[in-house]
Amino acid sequence: MDTNDLSYYIECSRIKSARRKVRLQKLDKEKQLIGLDKEIRRLSKLEDELPLIPLEIPYQKGWKRFFVLREDVAVSKYATFFNELLIKINTTQHCNNKAFTKRKRKRRKKVIVEIVQNLRSFLNYEWNSSKCKLTEKEKEFFKPLKRWCNTRKCFYTEYVFTEPWRFVLKIKPHFITHYKMHDNVLKQQMAEIDNHIENHYLRHQIYKLTNGRKDHYRCWNRNKLKYLHPFKNKALHTILYECEQEKIKNKNK
């Protein structure tokens, strides 16, 4: 390279070109948006970690309904097995009336119908996941069913319990015994950040940078994070091995 060339001295000096200045400004803005997202996530986590405070006088708010073992199943020799299975697939519903009914419009008239409650079912990815808590013997009581999804316009597989007659519904009053602690300063900080994001229309850019949704109506953007560290969530021996492999490739070149 000719050392008398002007471009050589510009590259060696600290003078930034116009293109680099624009790129650095954009980079700084994107880092600020990522910082806003991290801050609001941190504040949300602090809000979730606020403790529950017990009430001096608990009060009833509606009713709750859940499944229990049927009387004949509870006294059988398989009671322990189905009781453990019920813990994994039980569901709970809350309602203001004890009859668990709701109003529904049918043929231009409002009729009262009963609220349907089913045991928990498993989707295909939950069924095949290593985090699935069902044992192989418990999985024998499930069968796969093909169902149609109206939103995605496709069929999906759902594993449903085949013997729901072994359980019956039980209704109990639902009591409120604790309330969540409120932090006004935390709420104010979250509101200030949220107002800044909404007033300057930054929600879309934050979703795009943090691998979130482009908007509320499109699918998830599954591209990698733009500023994801290459060593994030990696073991030390894996990092050292990758560094050694990189050195070997550089020497061969």
pLDDT, tens only, 138-194:
999 999 999 888 888 889 999 999 999 999 999 999 999 999 998 999 999 999 999
Domain contains 184: no
Domain contains 35: yes
Domain contains 7: no
Residues 168 and 58 in one domain: yes
Q: Which residues, 6+ apart, have CB-to-CB distance to 46 below 8 Å?
A: 183, 186
- Copy the structure tokens of residue 142: 């499930």
**Cβ pair 69, 83 in contact under 8 A:** yes
Residues 195 and 218 in one domain: yes
Residues 171 and 107 in one domain: yes
Domain contains 10: no
Cα–Cα distances in angstroms (integers) from residue 227 to residues 18, 23, 118, 207, in the given order: 23, 15, 44, 13
Domain contains 227: yes
Tell me which of 179, 209, 230 is where a domain ends: 179
Tell me which of 158, 179, 200 is where a domain ends: 179
Residues 35 and 68 in one domain: no
**What does the chain look like in DSSP terms, one character per residue?**
--TT-HHHHHHHSSPPPHHHHHHHHHHHHHHHHHHHHHHHHHHHHHHHTPPEEEEEEEEEEEEEEEEEE-HHHHTSTTHHHHHHHHHHH--EEEESSTT-EEEEEETTEEEEEEPP-----EEHHHHSSTT----HHHHTTEEEEEEEETTTTEEEEEEEES-GGGEEEEEEEEEEEEEE---HHHHHHHHHHHHHHHHTT-HHHHHHHTT-BSSTTS-B--SPPTT--TTTT--HHHHHHHHHHHHHHHHH-
Residues 45 and 60 in one domain: no
Residues 123 and 89 in one domain: yes
Q: Give the type of residue at 191.
A: A
Domain contains 105: yes
Residues 164 and 198 in one domain: no
pTM: predicted TM-score of the whole model, two decimal places? 0.64
Tell me which of 127, 151, 179 is where a domain ends: 179
- Copy the structure tokens of residue 160: 């449903």
Full domain range(s) for residue 215 = 24-50+191-244
Structural domains of the chain, count: 2
Residues 227 and 132 in one domain: no
**Cβ pair 183, 50 in contact under 8 A:** yes
Residues 139 and 70 in one domain: yes
Residues 38 and 99 in one domain: no
Domain contains 43: yes
Q: Phi/psi at 220 (nearest 5 deg)?
A: -70, 140
- Copy the structure tokens of residue 52: 């529950």
**Cβ pair 50, 181 in contact under 8 A:** yes
Residues 83 and 46 in one domain: no
- Copy the structure tokens of residue 16: 């930034």
Domain contains 69: yes
Residues 111 and 152 in one domain: yes
- Terminal-to-terminal C-alpha distance of the chain: 22
- Please state the separation of Cα 93 from the chain's center in Å: 21
- Distance separating alpha carbons of residues 34 and 211, to the nearest angstrom: 11
Please give the torsion angle defined by the CA atoms of residues 216, 200, 209 and 234, in that order, rounded to the nearest 10 degrees: -110
Cα dihedral sign, 117-119-125-126: positive
pLDDT tens digits, the chain, 253 residues: what are they?
555 566 666 566 667 788 888 998 999 999 999 999 999 999 999 999 999 999 999 999 999 999 999 999 999 999 999 999 999 999 999 999 999 999 988 888 889 999 999 999 999 999 998 888 999 999 999 999 998 888 888 899 999 999 999 999 999 999 999 999 989 999 999 999 999 999 999 988 888 888 654 444 344 444 445 556 677 778 888 888 888 888 888 877 6
